[in-house]
Structure 1
Amino acid sequence: MVHKHYIVFKPYGFLSQFQTNSRQQRSKKLLGSLANFPEGAMAIGRLDEKSEGLLLVTTDGKVSDFVNSQKVDKEYFAQVDGRISDEAVKQLESGVEIGVNSKKYLTKPCTVVKLNGVPDLPGRPQKIRDDRHGPTSWVSITLNEGKFRQVRKMTSAVGCPTLRLVRVRVGNIKIGEMQPGDVVEVAGFANLG
């Protein structure tokens, strides 16, 4: 079988799935509406409805398992509420306690960098509050685990809830100049290591 692989810029407001059987979710925007993906296509590491950015799609379960293992880094740009302190950055890097499946979980050490200014990202259809309502900060968070809504829970744990979350890198694959809704078919994901 010849597998298919895609790099996708998942837009804000889309679910990381291709079809739904739920009557409630039939009105939702699905990843499958962005391109004619082949049968058996799966998103590797989902992004929730309010998150945006780089999403890999494949028909190869082995590739999906490898990316979802803790061997591949994922980098996110997060706009957070308030001015994030150096102490909060250190806490995020060391690991913070979050809730996962109704249990306490200590996140693994990761790399966190305060960004100087606003990163060059495409706009988003839903407006994010501006500095008239208080300051915001941008941070880069690179981790190799992926618990449900992990980055959002981590920033909340240090008192800086996430306002916007964009995945910009998986392994060595970067979002680059892609725009929301772009889908690029590739020969494979050789640059994940």
Structure 2
Amino acid sequence: MLLAFYKPFDVLSQFTQEHPSHRTLAEFGFPPDVYAIGRLDRDSEGLLLLSDEARWNDRLLNPRHAHPRTYHAQVDGQITDEALRKLRSGIDLKDFHSLPCKAQRLDTEPAHPPRDPPIRVRKNIPTSWLELTLTEGKNRQVRRMTAAVGFPTLRLIRVSIGSLKLADLGLQPGKWKRLDAAEERQVLA
């Protein structure tokens, strides 16, 4: 079985609680024996897949498959063409050099549910949104990439895996559903 979950902000992508104040996947009523395929950081939101089948883990996470994942990032400041060019080319992040990715400015703010708690707002510094599609998933990679080009991430939402789009699933933060065969094919597309 393959499940899609809209992971809310401030939830760990694991079932084991490491600290009493940390929320985990255990509170969302998943069937037994499922585990997260990949992860989203505690301060990231969006589409997270879970399964009880090991084949999904290899197919979606093994770098040889170059499986695309798309994110919306709200960043500090108005993202520049030069920063987008650098993101598209790949960024040196000290411990590795990111692969080239797709990066584009979003001209309008995407229609995501409000975050609880909301991001910090500074009157004198505008924010902007960009869409990034990566085929690798290192620790805090998107946040590190945007910071490296001078635009720290304030809010990060994974909006698709393969061609499966979070918006098409009709999920709200904290909700999940079992994917049907057609949706499973979208994950692999």
2:73 alignment partner, one of 71, 75, 78 = 78
2:100 alignment partner, one of 109, 117, 124 = 109
2:58 alignment partner, one of 65, 73, 80 = 65
Q: Does 1:183 align with 2:180?
A: no
2:24 alignment partner, one of 1, 20, 30 = 30
Structure 1 residue 65, shift from structure 2 partner: 1.2
CA RMSD in angstroms, aligned pairs only: 1.3
Deviations 1:97-141, CA, capped at 9 Å, x for gaps: 114xxxx31100110010012101000111212351411110000
Instruction: Confirm or deny: 8 A CA contact 1:9 1:55 kept in the other structure.
Output: yes
Find the counterpart in structure 1 of residue 41 from structure 2: 48
Structure 1 residue 26, shift from structure 2 partner: 3.0
Q: TM-score, normalised by structure 2?
A: 0.92
Between the aligned partners of 1:126 and 1:143, the Cα distance in structure 2 is 27
> Is the helix fraction higher in 1 or 2?
2
Residue type of the alignment partner of 1:17:
Q
Between the aligned partners of 2:27 and 2:180, the Cα distance in structure 1 is 22
2:89 alignment partner, one of 58, 74, 94 = 94
Deviations 1:48-72, CA, capped at 9 Å, x for gaps: 0000000000011111111112331
Instruction: Confirm or deny: 8 A CA contact 1:35 1:183 kept in the other structure.
Output: no
> Is the strand fraction higher in 1 or 2?
1
Between the aligned partners of 2:135 and 2:26, the Cα distance in structure 1 is 26
Task: Give percent identity, aligned residues only.
Answer: 41
Q: Does 1:162 align with 2:157?
A: no
2:143 alignment partner, one of 146, 149, 152 = 152
Residue type of the alignment partner of 1:94:
S
Structure 1 residue 187, shift from structure 2 partner: 3.8
Relative to structure 2, which stretch is displaced further, 104-113 or 26-35? 26-35
Q: Secondary structure at 1:98's aligned position in 2?
A: coil
Moved >4 Å (runs of 4+): none
Structure 1 gap segments, 5+ residues each = none
Structure 2 gap segments, 5+ residues each = none
1:6 alignment partner, one of 3, 8, 12 = 3
Q: Secondary structure at 1:105's aligned position in 2?
A: coil
Q: TM-score, normalised by structure 1?
A: 0.90
Instruction: Number of aligned residue pairs: give it.
Output: 182
Between the aligned partners of 2:176 and 2:93, the Cα distance in structure 1 is 33
Q: Does 1:122 align with 2:113?
A: yes
Between the aligned partners of 1:117 and 1:130, the Cα distance in structure 2 is 18
Between the aligned partners of 1:35 and 1:64, the Cα distance in structure 2 is 21
Relative to structure 2, which stretch is displaced further, 60-69 or 49-58? 60-69
